[in-house]
Amino acid sequence: MPLFVAGLSHRNAPVALREQLAVDEDKLRELLRDIGATGVVREALILSTCNRVEVYAVADVPGEARTATFRRLCHHRGVGPDSVETALYTYVDGEAVRHAFRVASSLDSMMIGEPQILGQVKDAFALAQSCETVGPALHTLFTQAFAVAKKVRTETEIARHAVSVSFAAVELAKKIFAGLDGKAVLLVGAGKMSELAARHLIEQGAFPLYVANRTWARAQELARALSGTAVPFDELTTALAAVDIVITSTGAPAPVITRETVDRVLPARRGRPLFFIDIAVPRDVEEAVDMLDGVYRYDIDDLKQVVDANIRERGREAHRAEALVEREVAKFVARLGDVEVIPTIVSLRERLEAIRAGEVKRTLARLPGATLETREAIEALSSAIVNKILHAPITKLRESSRAGSPRSWLELVHELFGLGRK
């Protein structure tokens, strides 16, 4: 399978260059059809995300196809091809398979283990299918890539550990509460990071949600976006008595939640834990709040420590995932190799079987009195001889194919055994 992948990513190209080549869905359809019409590739798929622009293709001459494909892409995007050509990486055959598996499994992502890339690869595959530029080779490759990505996620914990501040906040909340279902959340301030943390908590079942902000209009706007309720800022103390989780991000120069404030609301809480996620700098919640029973306060540095620890854990899991991918690549390449030599093996077996059957027929014609037992013995003997003759060439064909160099052996076997001749 003359497969190649060429492109650029966050690993080798700055965002300024990547965004110049990024292609939206409508333009991708036009580009795929344009590339297919050139005749330089037999199959093609384009993966365009914020971190990578890659072309997966099947072509008789990969180098020529890569150049022609990216010249078309540059033309569509109005970019000079010379600046792109120097940044491109190219992987062929087994290396291309490995790259596809690693990309789908998020091992090549900027943040290892992130879940978005698999969906993006699936979308690119579906789009190429709708443009009829996916053939048997790319279909086989990406079907297996999706299976490998699923295996990586189920057999390793590469995606389990939170590696963003907002996810780390949710992870900590889960440790404090037996579960997040029905836990009330109060958002103090309207920062993007606190909003993201709130969305993650809601996804985990936290509800209801309240928003308090000094700007009432902004509190209402964010409450609507999160299907929550806006709370006047001067009613903050009342809200603290009712909720379980408080996310703060106000931008205030001094704490807006003091130990005295929290201490005042504790009797009304009747022992229910209160969890503060303070994402503000300067901090919104006084450190002394930690000294109160049943109150837990985490600031941005605490969350960062969780994130750093989880990144290290993902790194360890990534080693396991890489080993899994390598095993899957070896199996996939071996199967591809077998597919390439199977027609020759079948022809060789048919050729020798025809010779065997003909010689057995002639022999038995000269032995009209042969018993059934004798006839069966001749059949078995001739079959065993054919199998022993076949063993060496078939083994060599499979070995050479898995080593990536089957062509010379295929030609030799065809020549030696007269395959394809009448």
pLDDT band at 398 (very low <50, low <70, confident <90, very high): confident
pLDDT at residue 422, as a whole number: 46
Contact 300, 164 (CB under 8 A): no
Whether omega before 273 lies within 30 degrees of 0, making that bond cis, reads no
pLDDT tens digit sequence for 320-356 = 999 999 999 988 887 776 666 777 888 888 888 889 9
Please state which of the ranges 35-39, 116-120, 274-278, 400-404 shows the lowest mean pLDDT: 400-404
- Angstrom CA distances, 236 to 194, 211, 283, stand at 17, 10, 17
Single-letter code of the amino acid located at 317 = E
- Whether domain 3-155 has CATH 3.30.460.30: yes
CB of 20 closer than 8 Å to CB of 77: yes
134 DSSP assignment: -
Pick 209 or 194 by higher pLDDT: 209
Q: What is the pLDDT of residue 290?
A: 93
Q: How far apart are CA 49 and CA 22, in angstroms?
A: 7
Catalytic residues: 50
Give 89's strand partners. Answer: 7
Burial environment of residue 147 by CB neighbours within 10 A (0 to 12, 13 to 18, 19 or more) = middle
Rounded to whole angstroms, how far apart are CA atoms 138 and 406?
21
Give the integer Cα–Cα distance in Å for 106 and 103.
5
Say if residue 7's pLDDT is above 80.
Answer: yes
Provide the CA 307 distance to its chain's centre, in angstroms.
21
DSSP-based three-state secondary structure for 90: strand
Burial class, 272, CB count within 10 angstroms (exposed 0-12 / middle 13-18 / buried 19+):
middle
Q: Are 48 and 123 in contact (CB under 8 A)?
A: no
Residue 312: the pLDDT is 87
Give the model's pLDDT for residue 16. 85
**Are 3-155 and 165-306 equal in CATH topology?**
no
pLDDT tens for each residue of 118-169: 999 999 999 999 999 999 889 999 999 999 999 999 999 888 776 778 788 8
Name, of 101-115, 165-179, 213-227, the range with top average pLDDT: 213-227
Residue 338 is predicted with a pLDDT of: 62
> What would the mean pLDDT of 51-80 be, rounded to a whole number?
91
Angle at 72 between CA 69 and CA 75, to 5 degrees: 150
Compare 414 and 103 and report the one with higher pLDDT: 103
Report CA Rg, the chain. 32
Which CATH code of 3.40.250.10, 3.30.410.40, 3.30.70.3340, 3.40.50.720 fits the domain covering 165-306? 3.40.50.720
H-type alpha helices, 40-182: 62-77, 81-85, 94-104, 116-130, 136-155, 165-176
Q: How confident is the model at residue 196 (pLDDT cuts 50, 70, 90)?
A: confident
| Span 234-269, pLDDT tens digits | 999 999 999 999 999 998 999 999 999 999 999 999
CA 207 centroid distance within chain? 31
186 conformational bin, left if phi > 0, alpha if psi -120 to 50, beta if neither: beta
Delimit the domains of the chain by residue range.
3-155, 165-306, 332-417
**pLDDT confidence tier of residue 405, bands split at 50, 70 and 90:** low
pLDDT tens figures, 72-118:
999 888 888 888 888 899 999 899 999 999 999 999 988 788 888 99
CB neighbour list of residue 253: distance below 8 Å, 6 or more residues apart: 282
Proportion of the chain above pLDDT 70, given as a percent: 96
Mean pLDDT of the chain: 89
Across residues 169-191, what is the average pLDDT? 89
DSSP conformation class of 285: B
38: β partners: none
What share of the chain has pLDDT > 90, as a percent? 54
